[in-house]
Amino acid sequence: GAVVSQHPSRVICKSGTSVKIECRSLDFQATTMFWYRQFPKKSLMLMATSNEGSKATYEQGVEKDKFLINHASLTLSTLTVTSAHPEDSSFYICSASLDGGDTQYFGPGTRLTVL
């Protein structure tokens, strides 16, 4: 149980385009979903926390207009990277929680490459 999927697993796009990444909890309802970004061999950086039906809470330094998060249902959250640039290339990882944060189940990650 407690499986989280992400789609796509890998995406390559041109600079200036927008990319949408989906995060789904497959067998449970996630009250809270988290979005992380990871650079090679470095800690996951929490980007934002989203609760179903409400606006996401962004961490300091994360541009909310660039990284749009929608958590429309208890099983789906989306991250849209708008007007992507090469410096946005990274692993984006989501996690989902049943209980608001104490236990998180991670998705497999999405590798974004912006050319």
DSSP 56: P
Number of residues that bind other proteins (CB under 8 A): 23
Choose, by CB under 8 A, the member of 36, 48, 56, 58 that binds other proteins. 36
Q: Which stretch binds other proteins (CB under 8 A): 2-10, 23-31, 62-70, 77-85?
A: 2-10
* Under rule CB under 8 A, residue 80 binds other proteins: no
Q: Which stretch binds other proteins (CB under 8 A): 18-26, 66-74, 81-89, 100-108?
A: 100-108
Choose, by CB under 8 A, the member of 13, 45, 68, 76 that binds other proteins. 45
Question: Shortest distance, CB of residue 22 to other proteins, whole angstroms?
Answer: 15
Going from the C-alpha of 104 to that of each of 16, 78, 79, 85, the distances in angstroms are 32, 17, 18, 29
Question: Among 62, 25, 30, which residue's Cα sits nearest to residue 45?
Answer: 62
Residues 6+ apart with CB under 8 A from 92: 6, 21, 35, 36, 37, 38, 79, 81, 109, 110, 112
